[in-house]
A = this chain, B = another copy of it.
Amino acid sequence: MITVQEHLSRIVETVQRLPPIDLDLLDAQGCVLAQDVTSEVALPGFRNSAMDGYAVHASDLLTASLTAPLTLPVVHDIPAGSTQALSLARGQSMRIMTGAPMPEGADAIVPVESTDGGLSTVTVSASVSVGQHVREAGEDVAPGDLIMGNGTRLEPRQIALLAAVGTGEVRVTPKPRVVVISTGDELIEPGTRPGFGQVVDSNGLMLVAAVRALDCVPFRVGCVRDEAQTFRATIQEQLLRADAVITTGGVSMGAYDTVKEVLSRVGTMRFDKVAMQPGMPQGFGVLGEDEIPVFTLPGNPVSAMVSFEVFVAPALRLMAGRSQDETAMVTAVAVDDWTAPAGKVQFARVVLSQAGSGHTVAIAGLQGSHALGSLAGANALAVIPADVTSVRAGDQVRCRPLGPILEAS
């Protein structure tokens, strides 16, 4: 028996950030930059107006006020998108739109709200200070500025900035492609009503959805029978398109545990009992020339989900160039009593709620490793250390959120 931490450490020391690829900017959403990005341009790219109004020499309007307005000729109209090089003489003005280039010589903008909005002449009822409502070229980003570091995750605002400096393609760490294989003679395809002795392959769908929710790219292989030759052929074929493989089922103590039977003969795979409940039988290793990481999870649905959260998700995040953990643990006060196994870390399915400035945690129904109903009703895993055998109402419990925390009712 090994500890959760031992198994996790072996996994995170084995997996590696994927080699970089070049993607169109919009296709790179959610990926992590695999290079530093330095801007070659200035932002703003040219001196421009921050308001709709009139470009002026501030010194021409020193005495302008509501009671003593001043009038200037309007010699030109500058829309946004103008690429004309213009020059403003003293005593004159040009009508200008937000974002349009400032004419040479102008040093301030009078907002249209402080004028009569005139077209051939404009009457101004307020003085302006030099630089007012003017955006200087490069005041946001200067050419040569490091605007984003290797490892930055590309979200909408990062994509906007990269686009603004003229980026078309970016070099990023790709999203891991993850093959999901369910094994078991009892399995039937989703969308079918199970008969006696049959179980729907809910694990396959759950893991595909979990891979996608993690912003990785899943491929579902479907149900593979408990037959060594078929399983061996399937996994070999799938290694070609996978950055990682997840299997469920076939890793326990049974006579038909095909995954373990086939893969335990491969020197690069290892099968262990991990001191946790649920999720004790775990296998991990690498397969093939490319040393693709393979996670063999138990077949019970709750065990599979807990194993995914505890072992697979951290590995996939690291492969994607992200942090191993992205969700902070939450400490909550138990409102129920429950027991935990001696010598094993318990991952109990719980309901975590906001209560004032703190949180409460309640047990989420039947705790068997087959209990999908209570798994679906839970929004967190309570992590009970191996040396704790009972939780009492009032105890502090560390929880790993699986979804949004409920508001106190």
Contact = CB atoms under 8 A, between A and B. Distances in A.
Contact of A46 (B52, B85, B197): B197
A127 interface: no
A202 to B, nearest CB: 4
A277 to B, nearest CB: 12
Given A43-B372, A82-B186, A163-B201, 19 more contacts: A45-B196, A52-B257, A80-B254, A80-B256, A81-B226, A85-B196, A98-B299, A99-B199, A101-B197, A139-B371, A140-B370, A141-B372, A157-B375, A157-B376, A157-B402, A160-B301, A163-B202, A164-B202, A166-B191
Nearest to A168: B191
A187 B187 CA distance: 55
A13 B378 CA distance: 32
A228 to B, nearest CB: 14
A83 B192 contact: no
Contacts of A15: none
A133 to B, nearest CB: 10
Given A140-B371, A147-B376, A370-B135, A194 B45 contact: yes
A404 interface: yes
Interface of A: 24-26, 29, 40-41, 43-46, 50, 52, 77, 79-85, 95, 97-101, 111-113, 135, 139-141, 145, 147-148, 155-161, 163-169, 184-187, 190-203, 205-210, 212-213, 220, 226, 252-257, 299-301, 305, 326, 328, 354, 366, 368-376, 378, 402-404
Contacts of A85: 196
A272 to B, nearest CB: 15
A163 B376 CA distance: 12
Contacts of A98: 252, 254, 299-300
A206 B141 CA distance: 18
B374 A140 contact: yes
A167 B192 CA distance: 7
Contacts of A44: 370
B375 A45 contact: no
A110 B72 CA distance: 98
B197 A100 contact: yes
Contact of A368 (B140, B185, B203, B213): B140
A208 B156 CA distance: 8
A305 B112 contact: no
Contacts of A185: 79-82
Contact of A157 (B197, B199, B368, B378): B378
Nearest to A199: B99
A45 B161 contact: no
A406 to B, nearest CB: 11
A196 B254 contact: no
A168 B190 contact: yes
Contacts of A140: 366, 368, 370-374
A113 B252 CA distance: 11
Q: For A26, A141, A254, which residue has the most chain B Cβ atoms within 10 angstroms?
A: A254
B26 A160 contact: no
A97 B255 contact: yes
A39 to B, nearest CB: 9
Contact of A254 (B97, B164, B166): B97
A354 to B, nearest CB: 8
Contacts of A159: 202, 205-206, 209
A213 B156 contact: yes
B160 A205 contact: yes
B186 A100 contact: yes
